[in-house]
């Protein structure tokens, strides 16, 4: 139970840290935050047998796509957080270390680069976007922030639960 609760807490918390970064990025740098409604649209179209789009933005909207996208965003964050105790052992949840958290955080950028962006019409590693290099840097930084979030939330949880 501790393993499950810790993984859920760390996954939700680290994803929230990533979202706070998205808000700060938009307010401070004028860079748009990701539209998880489009992720929801993409996922909903998968249920109908369509896995790739020339542009998900022009695909038919789906009822509830924003909720689907946000739920998937957090579920994916939890799944990635589960890699920490799965690979480095449940002890990571009791004594988090930065290295594994950053490895997972940076490693998770493979999902948008190789799955989501191509499936949504942006190409591998955003190659079909107007500014691929900028999109890649934004993705890398966002996933690095997720990695720091994994560590920070893991550390906070371990301190709160310490005897």
Q: What's the pLDDT tens digit per position in 4-58? A: 999 999 999 999 999 999 999 999 999 998 999 999 999 999 999 999 999 999 9
90 closest CA partner among 15, 19, 161: 161
**Domain span including residue 39:** 2-161
The structure tokens 């990533």 sit at 18
Tell me the percentage of the chain whose pLDDT exceeds 70.
Answer: 98
161 closest CA partner among 1, 4, 6: 6
Question: Would you state the pLDDT for residue 161?
Answer: 73
Q: Indicate the average pLDDT of the chain.
A: 96
Question: Would you state the pLDDT for residue 59?
Answer: 97
Question: Would you state the pLDDT for residue 1?
Answer: 62
pLDDT single digits (tens) 103-141? 999 999 999 999 999 999 999 999 999 999 999 999 999
Could you give the number of structural domains in the chain?
A: 1
């Amino acid at each position: 139970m501790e393993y499950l609760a810790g993984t859920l807490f760390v996954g939700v918390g680290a994803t929230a840290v990533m979202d706070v970064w998205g808000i700060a990025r938009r307010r401070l740098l004028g860079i748009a935050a990701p539209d998880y409604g489009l992720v929801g649209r993409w996922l909903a179209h998968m249920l109908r047998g369509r896995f790739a789009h020339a542009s998900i933005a022009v695909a038919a909207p789906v009822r509830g796509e924003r909720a689907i996208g946000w739920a998937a965003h957090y579920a994916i964050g939890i799944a990635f957080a589960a890699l920490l105790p799965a690979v480095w052992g449940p002890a990571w949840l009791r004594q988090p270390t930065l290295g594994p958290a950053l490895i997972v955080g940076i490693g998770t950028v493979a999902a948008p680069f190789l799955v989501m962006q191509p499936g949504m019409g942006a190409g591998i590693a955003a190659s079909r976007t107007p500014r691929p290099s900028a999109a890649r840097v934004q993705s890398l930084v966002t996933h690095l922030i997720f990695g720091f979030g994994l560590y920070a939330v893991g550390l906070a949880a371990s301190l709160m639960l310490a005897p």
